[in-house]
Structure 1
């Protein structure tokens, strides 16, 4: 089954072309890394996959639905099945961890239920189990701004686990972390994907993590796909071509 498909997709921001003629299929349960220099189009591609951006040209299909043709309500229904982890974490710092984790329920909860949960936290066991999966269950009631960067990223991942989507997108999830925490977070994302069968698409600067943890790697250069290979096929020559500086 195909989770994501881009058909001849181009995305422009004014006169700047971020992506050009992208054709791509991502299959259910696949772990795929997007690599390339800053400005290559990785974050734009992630935003197209979760429906926060629309293509200038072409079609984006998610879980068998053409996002171009969906009403706002239908689009939100599809987006509930896509969990996104961002490099900035997107957490509310002055709230306890449990409230940030419970934000994963917001697509299902009514406004009233969400408001009540801010006063009397609901589904505590679900939040605790999600935090246990990411290795920090003891942080359930701690203020989020008291956590380290690596712990905050784990809270963001726990929030996605509570959402329980069909696919997880991670946009540069380790860019603000040190090497040890980076390995922990990438390993955790891939482990969760393997255990649950969820599709995982992650954009990365660090090619070594892509080769070590992912099944398939796509190299983006100046908005185009330079290569689409299994991790074993990504050679030093291919990497040099991806990151070479043109005169």
Structure 2
């Protein structure tokens, strides 16, 4: 089926990246399968994470169908775009319909993108993972693809103004090897293992990040345990 909306949106995003002179470093895209279903799982630190998560799949010529809260689909601008790109609306009060929609997409050979923390982490550390991504992969018989993003929070995140200036912000993206989701595995244990893999990739992305703050005022995007001034998970609780 022709992608009358998704491909133009990708073109617009790539043009925006060039205009902002973003320094994007992607490693591990070869871990995303060229065909067949998969659940792509990422950390969540920015409102723009779905764009960069999808970017990691482009070298394999794959488009990702993201699960996103249904309010985004009701917006007069983003709604038609989200529906046109065949993303999956999630009503948190009635999640079964979204689960079935995602399962059908996986069984038809699509890649479904999931942020298992459910909301943006304001501490920029990993929150607990919900088990939905694992259960989807198990039921559909597809692999889990862990990945991590770093730097996207500097562009637009919860509680901060947007930064769409030509600021040359680096973004590091790391994609890990597929994790098999056997139906006979306990979903809770596999979810913990998946989270550990994403944590390893996040730490790798942070180590590779080429920017270090020059003064104390520019440490808001760095987690407290790394010496930054972002609120700790305990403070947020």
Instruction: Tell me the TM-score normalized by structure 2.
Output: 0.38
Instruction: Tell me the TM-score normalized by structure 1.
Output: 0.37
